[in-house]
Structure 1
């Protein structure tokens, strides 16, 4: 990554992957090919969808498919690091994590800089909020499969400070406020499925959080149905890049299928947006129970 470019502008890409199958090697090959295509098109910063290389499996009983989990310093991480280094990009890869130290499983995100070095000071970014629902039948229970993360996660890519909210985490305004308070410029939102939303609401919710907090957003989702043990997960795409004022800079509908959406973000534009739309600075924090937000 050119340091002079990284200081002021960043070409970001959200990769809309095809639905995964139980052939993990094929899933990985598709993901890596898409990352290379994004980099060849000029992306300096690439984000993949939630659980990017395995089908969404939270509709099955807890404990199944644990052989799919990987350590944060395991073989998958090594291959992703090599890919980031090969293409000279910052790369964010959501994965099914097994933490050797605790013996716990997480819905997590690997991050690498353009030299292939891990983007983390401690644990990887982990999903903080775990949903339980009954749609589609027979329902899903992420608490049966994952342990929630216990901290918001911010890393630096050049001059940019990057926060991570995995799928359901995006629902909680406090997360966005806290990331802005911690100095984030950009939030990545890896997603799988539809979450029961229509497509306009899905994008509208992200636009609202971006504008309220002066944060750019890169959201990546899969496209197409995943079928695992007879259960269908509808990944409906809508991967997008959203400016800090809520403007949609790029968006790929699900019916367009797999592909890449990309846009250029500028630090100066984020600063100008925050000066014009001063919602964060105008908060009456003396009235709130949690004044740091």
Structure 2
């Protein structure tokens, strides 16, 4: 059993997973093995990439692959809960969700504490912004597959307040500011694909958001191409852990393949960064904190 996350330090791990195939049981087995390995190395909080158990399918016609979706209290959630308790870790698992109450589908994230208890009565987060693009061909249209979430989420895990931004959500500075305003210490960013970025920009963008807001970041991406119905999704890894001041604490490049990216975060370091870098406190909210801005 790992140490409680009530401590002032937290050992975090981003899992850089191999590409998924249509063999969902095999995808899950690989992800669960990686969780167990990270826990054995001392991780207390573990984050998996976006849509961690299925191939990225947003290049397919809208509505296809809906049989892959599960409710937030479905069989996958039960297995993840058991895994979190078995390993004694806080676990965040991105998945394809169907909400039985609304019939809507979401790109979402489940969270469990070290006792296997859900961190809230449903997903920790639903992806808020849904991109459309054509790189790589034949492109993708997430709005044809998912309904966007309607709220930012911050969960309390011991003494840590943790926010989640799913992939494209990281592009919007307002999200980061809002998470800091909501008391977040740490932001988890599960990702799939490249979003058209080169590798230096991918990490640099996260470093910038971390430093601007005094927020530590854990980003998990897959590595390797996924192929589905003739479409290719180029996952390039670059999973990382970034300090609140923007320093890269751990980083796994794509050419290193799948693996565990881990580092230790400390409340004291975050507090010291915020005392030194006072951007958040110096905002002129009298000028721009209005709905029309």
Question: Which residue of structure 2 lines up, in the alignment, with residue 179 of structure 1?
Answer: 179
TM-score computed with the length of structure 2 as normaliser: 0.97
In 2, Cα distance between equivalents of 1:39 and 1:289: 42
> How much does 1:124 deviate?
3.6
Question: Which residue of structure 1 lines up, in the alignment, with residue 275 of structure 2?
Answer: 275
In 2, Cα distance between equivalents of 1:124 and 1:68: 19
> How much does 1:121 deviate?
5.0
Question: Which residue of structure 2 lines up, in the alignment, with residue 212 of structure 1?
Answer: 212
In 1, Cα distance between equivalents of 2:184 and 2:35: 24
> How much does 1:76 deviate?
0.1
Alignment size in residue pairs: 291
In 1, Cα distance between equivalents of 2:170 and 2:277: 21
TM-score computed with the length of structure 1 as normaliser: 0.97
> How much does 1:7 deviate?
2.6
In 1, Cα distance between equivalents of 2:81 and 2:263: 23
> How much does 1:259 deviate?
0.3
Question: Which residue of structure 1 lines up, in the alignment, with residue 118 of structure 2?
Answer: 118
Question: Which residue of structure 2 lines up, in the alignment, with residue 108 of structure 1?
Answer: 108
Contact 2:110 2:123 in 1 (8 A): no
Matched, 1:73 2:73: yes
Contact 2:124 2:164 in 1 (8 A): no
Question: Which residue of structure 2 lines up, in the alignment, with residue 248 of structure 1?
Answer: 248
1:25-174 matches, cutoff 5 A: 25-121=25-121, 123-174=123-174
State the SS of the aligned residue for 2:114. Answer: coil
Question: Which residue of structure 2 lines up, in the alignment, with residue 2 of structure 1?
Answer: 3
> How much does 1:2 deviate?
2.8
1:234-275 Cα shifts (integer Å, max 9, x gaps): 000000000000000000001110000000000011000000
In 2, Cα distance between equivalents of 1:100 and 1:167: 24
TM-align CA RMSD: 1.2
Structure 2, unpaired ranges of 5+: none
In 2, Cα distance between equivalents of 1:2 and 1:290: 43
State the SS of the aligned residue for 2:238. Answer: strand
State the SS of the aligned residue for 1:6. Answer: coil
1:52-108 Cα shifts (integer Å, max 9, x gaps): 000000001001000000110000000000000001000000000000000000000
Contact 1:107 1:146 in 2 (8 A): yes
1:13-42 Cα shifts (integer Å, max 9, x gaps): 000000000000000000000000000000
In 2, Cα distance between equivalents of 1:93 and 1:39: 15
In 1, Cα distance between equivalents of 2:92 and 2:271: 25
Contact 1:72 1:124 in 2 (8 A): no
Contact 1:91 1:111 in 2 (8 A): yes
1:173-215 Cα shifts (integer Å, max 9, x gaps): 0000000000000000000000000000000000000000000
In 2, Cα distance between equivalents of 1:66 and 1:246: 39
> How much does 1:123 deviate?
4.9
**Cα distance change, pair 225–111 in 1 and its aligned pair in 2 (3 A):** same
In 2, Cα distance between equivalents of 1:208 and 1:273: 14
1:103-159 Cα shifts (integer Å, max 9, x gaps): 000000000000000012555410000000111222100000000000001101110
Structure 1, unpaired ranges of 5+: none
Structure 1 residue runs of 4 or more that deviate by more than 6 Å after TM superposition: none
